Chain A
Amino acid sequence: TQLLEQSPQFLSIQEGENLTVYCNSSSVFSSLQWYRQEPGEGPVLLVTVVTGGEVKKLKRLTFQFGDARKDSSLHITAAQPGDTGLYLCAGATNFNKFYFGSGTKLNVKP
């Protein structure tokens, strides 16, 4: 049973398109993190959201934490081939344990 469901699982788009990735759960999280992982490497933290309704922007990436702190979304504007990778969300429900979603594999074609 996956505590965090990510959708879509796979996404292949052309350079310049916009996209949104979703991370949903029936559980409430104290915080939620988004990571990007490239093949053969470990995940790299992109952002941490803590407050319900919070929106954070990181250049072309916009992260939103749901009001009820059960879900989150990542929106990428004008995707570039360098955005290709596995995007993982991770929620913290109790002390120092993070539950990861299964990831969204993004491929941006030039």
Chain B
Amino acid sequence: NAGVMQNPRHLVRRRGQEARLRCSPMKGHSHVYWYRQLPEEGLKFMVYLQKENIIDESGMPKERFSAEFPKEGPSILRIQQVVRGDSAAYFCASSLAGGLQETQYFGPGTRLLVL
């Protein structure tokens, strides 16, 4: 399966713990996007990365959230000291190149539950 992979699919954390969400883009894709989705809502843009660079993080909270896309390995979305309001589905998408007409392929998501 050459699609976008995300793991874990489900993650349970207690308040104050750290959550690490991983995304492996489609083979050959160097652009990664992270989105957050609350129940019954659309997706909200968080951050756009290329290999080793953050291009746009305007949708990501300035505190506790960080993202990286290293030269080797998956992209990581890290949430420190999680709170109940962080509970949501987090989706990663990848594209072959940048550009407004580039197709974004989505992964299956990680569902984070903060107790």
A binding-site residues for B, Cβ under 8 Å: 2, 4, 6, 30-31, 35, 40-45, 48, 50, 88, 90, 92, 95-103, 105
Contacting residue for A100 out of B43, B48, B103, CB 8 A: B43
Q: Contact at B101–A31, with CB atoms within 8 Å?
A: yes
Q: Contact at A96–B91, with CB atoms within 8 Å?
A: no
- Does B4 sit at the interface, judged by CB under 8 A? yes
Give CA–CA (A95, B91) in the complex, Å.
20
B30–chain A nearest beta-carbon distance, Å: 12
A69–chain B nearest beta-carbon distance, Å: 12
From 57 to 97 in chain B, residues with beta carbon under 8 angstroms from any chain A beta carbon are 58-59, 91, 93
Please indicate the chain B residues that have their CB under 8 angstroms from the CB of A92 in the complex. 100
B binding-site residues for A, Cβ under 8 Å: 4, 31, 33, 35, 40-45, 48, 55-56, 58-59, 91, 93, 98-109
Interface Cβ pair total, 8 Å cutoff: 67
> CB-nearest residue of chain B relative to A100?
B42
Q: Contact at B42–A97, with CB atoms within 8 Å?
A: no
A27–chain B nearest beta-carbon distance, Å: 14
A-B contact pairs, 10 of them (CB 8 A): A2-B42, A6-B42, A31-B100, A42-B93, A50-B101, A95-B56, A98-B33, A102-B41, A102-B42, A105-B40
> CB-nearest residue of chain A relative to B41?
A102
Please indicate the chain A residues that have their CB under 8 angstroms from the CB of B56 in the complex. 95-97
Give CA–CA (A41, B56) in the complex, Å.
25
> CB-nearest residue of chain A relative to B55?
A96
Contacting residue for A43 out of B100, B102, B106, CB 8 A: B106
Q: Contact at A98–B106, with CB atoms within 8 Å?
A: no
Q: Contact at B41–A103, with CB atoms within 8 Å?
A: yes
Give CA–CA (A3, B3) in the complex, Å.
29
